[in-house]
């Protein structure tokens, strides 16, 4: 069994403020360690369920966050940004049995995580076929493009609820809940134990989560906070500038949606 894990930080247990997620800030070192510990717990759970190969994508900010000395020897890790449209899922292919998402956060405009956003602070909303999308939305569709089911997600309670609605059968673990700029959270040790157990159970069970449906036609709508971003990005081939802050793009192949996002977000 071959497992792919995409690891973010804003859904890590306890994280509450942006300085805790930004390289160079004093608080970052502590939360970088928590992020790594949760990722290692997911790897251990996958290994216990029978995984023979695990590939991890460091998928936050610089993509150079995980403490490599803490990762098990049976793991390989993808660091940095290649520029490939798969972005947070770069390294996945059709040979994987399942995709896992650790430390994930809810989409821009939601109040279930003080750090909620979608890819960039420049985006106020991103929609796929009329539905407001999170990073998990984009990444689970990417996995689906390769025929890989999304089996487990940890992160804020709102993101967990949306993942369960989008992918029936996915297992989730809520590490925190947002209250304006505050959070109520599991402590790191409890989150680590629960993630390890949750991943093992999710991968060991016989039932498989469904794949998000790849429709015959896709519409991408990007609403920016600043109209100058919309104007600048409107020159992407096939992009329509439909309102001062809004762009629309249509394609039959989801990869073309990923490629457009890669250049306009």
Structural domain contains residue 210: no
| Mean predicted lDDT score pLDDT of the chain | 97
User: How many domains, the chain?
Assistant: 2
Residues 183 and 156: their CA atoms lie apart, in Å, by: 9
Residues 17 and 98 reside in one and the same domain: yes
* Three-state DSSP state, 4: strand
The reply to whether 160 and 260 lie within a common domain is no
Known catalytic residues are: 117
Determine whether the annotation assigns residue 10 to a binding site.
yes
Alpha-carbon gap, residue 73 to 61, rounded angstroms: 25
**131 has binding-site annotation:** no
Q: Are residues 89 and 139 in the same domain?
A: yes
Structural domain including 12 reads: 2-106+135-204
- Tell whether 222 and 199 lie within a shared domain: no
pLDDT in tens, 87-128: 999 999 999 999 999 999 999 999 999 999 999 999 999 999
**253 annotated as belonging to a binding site for a ligand:** no
Any known ligand binding at 8?
yes
pLDDT, one tens digit per residue, over 230-241 is 999 999 999 999
| Under 8 Å between Cβ of 6 and 139 | yes
Looking at the fold, whether 186 and 257 belong to one and the same domain comes out as no
CATH number at residue 179: 3.40.50.10780
DSSP of 63-113:
S--S-GGGS-TTEEEE-S----TTGGGTT--TT-SEEEEEEE-PPTT-SS-
Specify the pTM. Answer: 0.97
Considering the domain architecture, whether residues 140 and 29 belong to the same structural domain is answered as yes
pLDDT at 209: 80
């Amino acid at each position: 069994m071959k497992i792919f894990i995409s690891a973010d930080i804003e859904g890590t247990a306890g994280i509450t403020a942006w300085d805790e997620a930004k390289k160079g800030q004093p608080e970052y070192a502590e939360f970088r360690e928590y992020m790594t510990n949760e990722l290692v717990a997911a790897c251990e759970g996958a290994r216990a369920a029978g995984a023979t190969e695990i590939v991890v994508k460091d998928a936050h900010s610089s993509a150079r966050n995980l403490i490599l000395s803490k990762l098990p020897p049976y793991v390989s890790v993808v660091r940095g940004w290649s520029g490939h449209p798969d972005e947070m899922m770069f390294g996945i292919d059709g040979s994987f049995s399942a995709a896992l998402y650790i430390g994930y956060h809810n989409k821009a405009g939601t109040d279930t995580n003080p750090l909620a956003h979608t890819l960039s602070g420049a985006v106020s909303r991103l929609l796929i076929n009329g539905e407001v999308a999170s990073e998990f939305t984009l990444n689970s569709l990417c996995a689906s493009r390769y025929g890989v089911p999304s089996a487990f997600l940890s992160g804020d309670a709102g993101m967990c609820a949306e993942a369960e609605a989008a992918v029936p059968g996915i297992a989730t673990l809520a590490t925190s809940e947002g209250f304006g700029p505050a959070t109520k959270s599991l402590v790191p040790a409890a989150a680590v134990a629960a993630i390890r157990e949750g991943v093992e159970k999710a991968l060991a069970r016989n039932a498989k989560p469904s794949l998000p449906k790849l429709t015959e036609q896709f519409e991408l709508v990007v609403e920016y906070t600043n109209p100058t971003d919309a104007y600048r990005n409107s020159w992407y081939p096939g992009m329509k500038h439909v309102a001062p802050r809004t762009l629309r793009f249509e394609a039959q192949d989801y990869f073309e949606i990923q490629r457009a996002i890669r250049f306009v977000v």
